[in-house]
Amino acid sequence: MKAPDRISEFTSDRARTRFHTAYDQARARLWPAPPETVVAPTRFGEVVAYRFGSAEGTPVVLLPGAGGNALSWTPYLARLSAHHPVLAVDPIGEPGAARQTAPVPDEGAVVECLAEALDALDVRRAHLVGMSYGGWLALRHELRFPGRAASLTLLDPAGFGAVSGRFLLWVVAGGLAALTPGPLRRRLAGPLGNATLRQEELLGLLRASLSFRRRLPAATPLADAELASITVPTLVLLGARSRLYDAADVAERLRGLVPTADVEVVPDAGHDLPVHSPGPVTDRIEEFLAGR
């Protein structure tokens, strides 16, 4: 599916300033040891990556979900960067530090943008870790450039069926709940299956990002033949309560089509899996990456 021939942007200069103020404050508060900031030029604009950990070894590249940025990975950074070089990415077309200068009209362009950013970052091979849309992007990148990824880690990834009204309702409900008073918002987190509503340190940023108009193509569904061609070591963690799809059905499909994939369904978590269960998810990622 093609995206409109437009650039992702904020609704006004005031909204942009408000977001970047909240973004810079959140980075300073959540990342007390400033990482190295690297700008990666592409034909679609400038991707921004934050480098943590050692410079030695195969880097772990962290790709956020739709509407997210590198701050989404805050609970994971200390542990992952203790054993691996880590690059947390602000992609083009998402609210963050990246700067978009040209439309990203279709799936191919999204993949090319990531590939060009990795080239600019001098990343020849990487462990790609993606949540939701970022997981779909990691899969699409591997299909286009097989073998460039040393491994794939996918957290409740998109691309396993069309986006349903049920999922869109979940997104809208979460956005509305973010605007409610704190006690009510925190109570709503459980019934809505959205642990982000309990993230007080990111609440201002979440509210500010509501004024961002995202103009990227939807995650196209992955065909059986495409999945069957994946040979790189792959870890897939699915939220049992995900509103994106039936996790049990997706797990069964992946186990049948991708013999190199280790597929697990995480109880109690939904599409909010990376925020809901950062400790267990980090444990599983570290175990998966050990020795690779």
Measured CA distances, 85 to 69, 130, 245 (Å): 18, 16, 33
Q: Do 104 and 216 meet the contact criterion of CB atoms below 8 Å apart?
A: yes
Query: Does 60 map to a domain?
Result: yes
Identify whether 177 is part of a domain.
Answer: yes
Global pTM value? 0.91
- In angstroms, the CA 241 to CA 265 distance is 9
Q: Is residue 3 part of a domain?
A: no
The answer to whether residue 110 sits within a structural domain is yes
Q: What is the pLDDT along the chain (292 residues), one digit of tens a residue?
A: 555 578 999 999 999 999 999 999 999 999 978 899 999 999 999 999 999 998 789 999 999 999 999 999 999 999 999 999 999 999 999 999 999 999 999 999 999 999 999 999 999 999 999 999 999 999 999 999 998 999 999 999 999 976 766 766 666 666 776 777 777 777 767 777 676 777 777 778 888 898 999 999 999 999 999 999 999 999 999 999 888 899 999 999 999 999 999 999 999 898 888 888 899 999 999 999 997 7
Cα–Cα distance for residue pair 60/44, rounded to 1 Å: 23
pLDDT at 117: 98
Give the DSSP per-residue string, the chain: -PPPSS--EESSHHHHHHHHHHHHHHHHHH-SSPPEEEEEEETTEEEEEEEES-SSSPPEEEE--TT--GGGGHHHHHHHHTTS-EEEEE-TTSSSS-EE-S---SHHHHHHHHHHHHHHTT-SSEEEEEETHHHHHHHHHHHHSTTSEEEEEEES-S-SSPPPHHHHHHHHHHHHHTTS-HHHHHHHHHHHT-GGGG-HHHHHHHHHHTTEE------PPPPHHHHHT--S-EEEEEETT-SSS-HHHHHHHHHHH-TTEEEEEETT--TTHHHH-HHHHHHHHHHHHTT-
Distances 222 to 49, 161, 203 between C-alpha atoms, Å: 27, 8, 33
Q: Determine the pLDDT at residue 162.
A: 66
- Residue 153 has a pLDDT of 98
Range of the structural domain that residue 163 is part of: 9-289
CATH number of the domain that residue 20 is part of: 3.40.50.1820
Q: How many CB atoms neighbour CB 126 within 10 A?
A: 21
Residue 270: predicted pLDDT: 87
Q: Provide the terminal-to-terminal Cα distance of the chain, rounded to the nearest Å.
A: 35
Cα-flanking dihedrals φ and ψ of residue 230, to 5°?
-75, 120
φ/ψ of 146, rounded to 5, equals: -60, 135
Asked, for residue 4, whether it belongs to a domain, the answer is: no
Question: Is 16 within the bounds of a domain?
Answer: yes
The tally of domains found in the chain comes to 1
Tokens of 171: 């997104």
Angstrom distance (rounded) from CA 115 to CA 109: 10
Q: 1 in a domain, yes or no?
A: no
pLDDT at 165: 65
In a domain, 202, yes or no: yes
